[in-house]
Structure 1
Amino acid sequence: MRADAQRNRDRIVEVAREIFRAKGFDAVSMDEVAKGAGVGPGTLYRHFPTKESLYDAIIEAWAGKVNAAVDRALALDGPARVRLLTWLSDYTAMLTQHKGAAARITAALGDPGSPFAAKCQTYLAANQRLIDGMDSALRPEVDAMGISRLVGGVAAVADNSELPDDAVASMLAVVADGLLAPVHV
């Protein structure tokens, strides 16, 4: 890619990220992004033929961020509940970073034709890594899809109702307690 084309692409992604974050996916038009980035519609559509492809580019960096968050949670030296809550909190924060993303991504789970399928796979893989890294601390029936749906539901509620952080943390604690295997004394 030519240097000027790469600059245009980077500028489009940067501007679109801010607009999507402020307004949410559904409220953003491609024309608005083109104007904000100072490029013509043709330039925008050459780089991103659909709004979904633009959104995908915006959240592309999530894969690295997601993997780093799982690594951080698994590396903690503490009880399984602390490691699990650390991941669930980070996962919720990532899902709610862009207005409306939590509901859209959670609803797309299991749909290989969704424009968000790659992001869903990233989260599913991260949840599987968590399960694998938690040894037998989780209930045997816990799977990556279940964690994704539970946390996605909490994140969607948090995103749409502007709950305070302590209310979200309380819901995540209930989810964590339900995922952990019972401790027999």
Structure 2
Amino acid sequence: MRADAKRNRDRIVEVARLVFREQGYDAPLDEIAKRAEVGAGTLYRHFPTRDDLVDAVMQSWVDSVDTAVDKALAHEGDGRAVLMAWLETYVGLISLHRGGPAKITTAMGDPESPIRSKCQVLAGANQRVIERLTDDGVLRDGVEPLQLCRLVGGVATVADQSELDAPTVRSLLEVVADGLVRQP
């Protein structure tokens, strides 16, 4: 790729990240091209579909998931506190852009989604949390990564669409956590 083409591509991705954060993943692509100071043809040459652009925007996000799960698993406190740290982190990860929680959560169960492979990194992170907390005797048996993705994604989607504040979201996540934790 020529240097100027790479600069244009990188600029489009950076502007798309900002626009998606402001307006959601359904923001007009023409606005992204305009704000990136490129023509629509240039945008579509690099990203033939909206999903291709979303995929590119998500790449740096994917790279941050492992770091986030490591941090949550290192959280001090009992197993429930570790679980809550991860659930809150998870909501934060999928809520970076308006509409993100619904798009990401839906993509996980859709084998045709072009962003599914990126979203699967969350299922892998959930698997790590589940294994650790199951081994520690914290989680009840039978909790699966996709279930956790969908439960927490549902809370994040409601929070995103209803613009719920952090304490309200935390209270919803506490209900989820209580349902996952093994009862004495």
Question: Which TM-score applies when normalising by structure 2?
Answer: 0.94
Residue 19 of structure 1: aligned partner: 19
- Structure 1 window deviating more from structure 2 (64-73 vs 107-116): it is 107-116
Q: Deviations over 1:33-67 (max 9, x none)?
A: 11110111222112111111101111111212111
- Structure 1 runs of 4+ off > 3 angstroms? none
Match of 1:139, SS state, is coil
Alpha-carbon distance between aligned partners in 1 of 2:181 and 2:59, rounded to the nearest angstrom: 31
Residue 70 of structure 2: aligned partner: 71
Q: Does 1:81 align with 2:69?
A: no
Alpha-carbon distance between aligned partners in 1 of 2:25 and 2:72, rounded to the nearest angstrom: 29
Match of 2:59, SS state, is coil
Q: Does 1:180 align with 2:178?
A: no
Alpha-carbon distance between aligned partners in 1 of 2:50 and 2:107, rounded to the nearest angstrom: 16
Q: Does 1:167 align with 2:168?
A: yes
- Alignment map for 1:69-148 (pairs within 5 Å): 69-134=68-133, 135=135, 136-148=137-149
Alpha-carbon distance between aligned partners in 2 of 1:119 and 1:154, rounded to the nearest angstrom: 20
AA aligned opposite 2:170? A
Alpha-carbon distance between aligned partners in 1 of 2:174 and 2:29, rounded to the nearest angstrom: 39
Q: Deviations over 1:122-160 (max 9, x none)?
A: 111110111122223211111101100100000001000
Q: Which runs of 5+ in 1 are unaligned?
A: none
Match of 1:131, SS state, is helix
Residue correspondences, number: 182
- Structure 1 window deviating more from structure 2 (113-122 vs 86-95): it is 113-122
Cα shift at 1:78:
2.0
Question: Which TM-score applies when normalising by structure 1?
Answer: 0.93
Q: Which runs of 5+ in 2 are unaligned?
A: none
Cα shift at 1:10:
1.0
Identity %: 54
Cα shift at 1:16:
0.8
Alpha-carbon distance between aligned partners in 1 of 2:115 and 2:58, rounded to the nearest angstrom: 10
